[in-house]
Chains A and B, each alone.
Chain A
Amino acid sequence: MRGLHQRLGWPGAVSLALILIAFGMALLAPWVAPFPDQGAGAPSIATKFLPPSADHLLGTDHLGRDMVSRVIYGARVSLSSGLLIVAFSLLIGLPVGVLAGYFGGWLDEGLMRITDVFLAFPALLLAVLMAAALGPGLLNSIVAVAVTWWPWYARMARAEVLALRGQPYVEAAQLMGVGHPRIILRHILPAAVRPLSVQAALDVGPALLTASALSFLGLGVLPPTADWGQMVDAGRKFFPERWWYSAAPGMAVFILALAFSVLGDALRDRAGGRRDGSA
């Protein structure tokens, strides 16, 4: 097997590794975090506002909690909200796009105009409004972002389906009397899901960034649950004297979002043609 770096290039391979490490740490947080109870939210006033040291690599926060543990626990919320936003969006966008593309006509018109209405709002503004209306909380913030996210998938799915619908084998199946539900399940969905799932995987990064933005604005997860956006916000009050409080979760968001972006570029390059012949 060829090395990953040959398939994706070094930046892509490193990004993939970072993303996998982040997922691994999130999953295994109780075991990899140096202070699991503090990561989960237990205060430790005696150790408050310690600067980075050997014991606390990223220092401690205003309640004396180890920032490394907090960031690792925060990864759980951030990654799962990124994943769930994309999943919810697919759940709505895929059927909408497939139905609109496959059946066309007034159904297409109706569904796509609804989609356009959602696209007409600035995404972040709509997400903020939704989150404010729904109130804080992990699930609510996920729903709020998903509401702005699904129209893109609906449009992508529709475009894929439009191309597939004209395939001679789809028309042949229709001519042989095979019903629409079966044709969609057999010929349309599997072929449309593939490009969409690649896009969805790459969207986890931007989605998590948006979710972090909401919680930074106080519209996301509530303390004591660790969340990167909300931690950056909490640290703001003590910035710049206790810079590590905001910097640690901020860097985590930054690195992860960057990794998703770089990986996305690497995959796009790979899909779009072999630049250097090594792939």
Chain B
Amino acid sequence: MALLDIRALSVDLPAPGGAIHALRRVDLTVTRGTIHGLIGESGCGKTMTAMALLGLLPRGADIGAERFLFDGMALRDVASSLRGRRIALISQDPAAALNPVLTIRRQIDDVLRAHHDLPRVARDARAVELLAATGLPDPARVLRSYPHQLSGGMQQRVVIAQALATGADLLIADEPTTALDVTIGAQVLALLRRLVQERGLTILMITHDMDVVAEVCDSATVLYAGTSVEDGPMSEVLTRPRHPYTRALLAALPDAGPPGTRLAAIEGRIPPPFEAIAGCAFAPRCAAAQAECRLRPPPERQDGQHRWTCLVERGTDDQAAA
């Protein structure tokens, strides 16, 4: 059974003059012990999806879903009680996630104390063990340190150690490498990969960085304007993208075209979140769009594990280009 099983999740936020459609229709399935990428540009609903999983939607938010399950439980009802217990968040800015005037030991100990009934000595030992598990050299010294005495990469490892201290089985990593430089970011990704293998964790990796996705994710979901448009194993999504948006996204990567040529860009802009969309959300910007695309929701298509929603039937990438 999938750890996360979400079907047709929608979130409307109340606003003066009508609702904001923060999420329109998100399907998301995350298998235990894998890293699943949640990809999309700013405003597509990545973070809103995470907030829904954590039960942290703003007051008055209207949640709708055909299925919204975590480990078989209805997340609508239990999200706030699972938060910090079975679902933990690794934020994008580790420096901000740590209180600057408290030692690392205090901040990890607070989390351990919240989840485990252990005597102090045992908690200290556990903190050392957790820090060591995140690959920090000299955990004892790190425990005595204040956040400013650690580098960004070390801070992110501390935050990951905190997340491990909760004992959560699902970690939501919200752009965990954006605040880090590239080499350190790669190390943190390798660490997450290792934690998934060694501890059987499941990670939902929220990112707009295709390189991150390609590097660590087993599978991915592509979001566009609050809608999941494509979903499948990493190799499928990256090498044989089916949805026009995913194709355009991959074509826009700097190294997609030959050097010296202009970068490809997607014409137009994302539909405003208060707009009702009858057909396919991407249709106004889609090169392959037909008149019907704007009129009714695109059908779901499937090829093995690979799923996407598009009216225009297509085979592989090569055929589409022809």
- What is A's interface to B at a CB cutoff of 8 Å? 167-170, 172-179, 182, 186-187, 190-191
B88: CB under 8 A from chain A? yes
Do A176 and B99 touch across chains, with their CB atoms under 8 A apart? no
A167 — which chain B residues lie within 8 A by C-beta?
96, 99
Interface flag for B102 (CB, 8 Å): yes
Q: Is B93 an interface residue (CB 8 A)?
A: yes
A176 and B93 contact, CB distance less than 8 A: no
Closest CB-CB distance, B117 to chain A, in whole Å?
13
Q: Are A176 and B102 in contact (CB under 8 A)?
A: no
**Interchain CA distance A121-B296 in the complex, whole Å:** 63
Bound-complex Cα distance A172 to B159 (A):
9
- Given A182-B110, A182-B113, A186-B110: A176 and B84 interface contact (C-beta under 8 Å): yes
- The verdict on B97 contacting chain A, using a C-beta distance below 8 Å, is yes
A172 and B114 contact, Cβ closer than 8 Å, known pairs A177-B84, A177-B166, A186-B106:
no
Question: Interface code B154-184, partner A: CB below 8 Å = 1, 0 otherwise?
Answer: 0000010011011000000000000000000
CB-based nearest B residue for A190: B101
Mask of B59-94 contacts with A, CB within 8 angstroms, 1/0: 000000000000000000000000111001101010
Which residues on B sit within 8 Å (CB–CB) of A174?
84
A168 in contact with B97 (CB, 8 Å): yes
Nearest CB of B to A276, in Å = 30
Contact residues in B for A170 (Cβ distance below 8 Å): 99
Instruction: Give the CA-CA distance A190 to B100 in the complex, in Å.
Output: 13
A172 CB to closest chain B CB (Å) equals 4
- Interface status of B52 (Cβ within 8 A of chain A): no
Q: Is the CB of B98 within 8 A of A177?
A: no
Whether A179 pairs with B114 at a CB distance below 8 angstroms is: yes
- Near A by CB (< 8 A), chain B positions 89-146 give 89, 91, 93, 96-102, 106-107, 110-111, 113-115
Cβ of B54 within 8 Å of any chain A Cβ, yes or no, is yes
- With A172-B91, A172-B159, A186-B106 already in contact, the answer to whether A178 and B97 are too (CB < 8 A) is no
Contact partners of A176 in chain B: CB under 8 A:
84, 88, 110-111, 114, 162-163, 165-166
**Is chain A's binding surface mostly helix, strand, loop or mixed?**
helix
Residues of A within 8 Å of B165, CB to CB, are 176
Check if A178 sits within 8 Å of B96, measured CB to CB: no
Take A168-B91, A178-B84 as given contacts and tell me if A173 and B110 are in contact as well, using a CB distance cutoff of 8 Å: yes
Which of B83, B85, B102 is A186 in contact with, Cβ under 8 Å?
A: B102
Q: Nearest 4 A-B pairs (CB), nearest first?
A: A177-B84, A168-B96, A172-B97, A169-B99
Q: Which residues of B contact A177 (CB under 8 A)?
A: 83-85, 88, 111, 114-115, 166
User: With A and B bound together, what is the CA distance between A170 and B85 in angstroms?
Assistant: 17
Q: Report Cα–Cα, A175/B91, bound state, in Å.
A: 10
| Least distance between A165 CB and chain B CB atoms (Å) | 13
11 contacts between A and B (CB under 8 A): A167-B96, A172-B89, A172-B97, A172-B162, A173-B110, A174-B84, A175-B54, A175-B91, A176-B163, A177-B83, A177-B114
> Given A176-B165, A177-B83, A177-B166 in contact, is the A169-B110 Cβ separation under 8 Å?
no
State the Cβ distance, A167 to closest chain B Cβ, in Å: 8
Please report the C-alpha to C-alpha distance between residue A223 and residue B174 in the assembled complex, in whole angstroms.
69
Contacting residues, chain A, for B102 (C-beta < 8 A): 186-187
In the assembly, what is the distance between CA of A74 and CA of B84, in Å?
57
Chain A residue at minimal CB-CB distance from B94: A172
Cα-based distance from A168 to B98 in the complex (angstroms): 8
User: CA–CA, A178 to B99, complex, Å?
Assistant: 13
Among residues of A, the one whose C-beta sits closest to the C-beta of B81 is A177
Name A173's closest neighbour in chain B (CB-CB): B110
Contact residues in A for B88 (Cβ distance below 8 Å): 175-177
Q: In the complex the two chains form, what is the Cα distance from A168 to B97 in whole Å?
A: 5
Known: A168-B96, A175-B54. 4 other contacts (CB 8 A): A169-B97, A172-B89, A175-B83, A190-B101
- Expressed in whole angstroms, the Cα–Cα distance for A172 and B166 within the complex equals 12
Report the minimal beta-carbon distance from A63 to chain B, rounded to whole angstroms: 56
Closest to B147 in A: A169
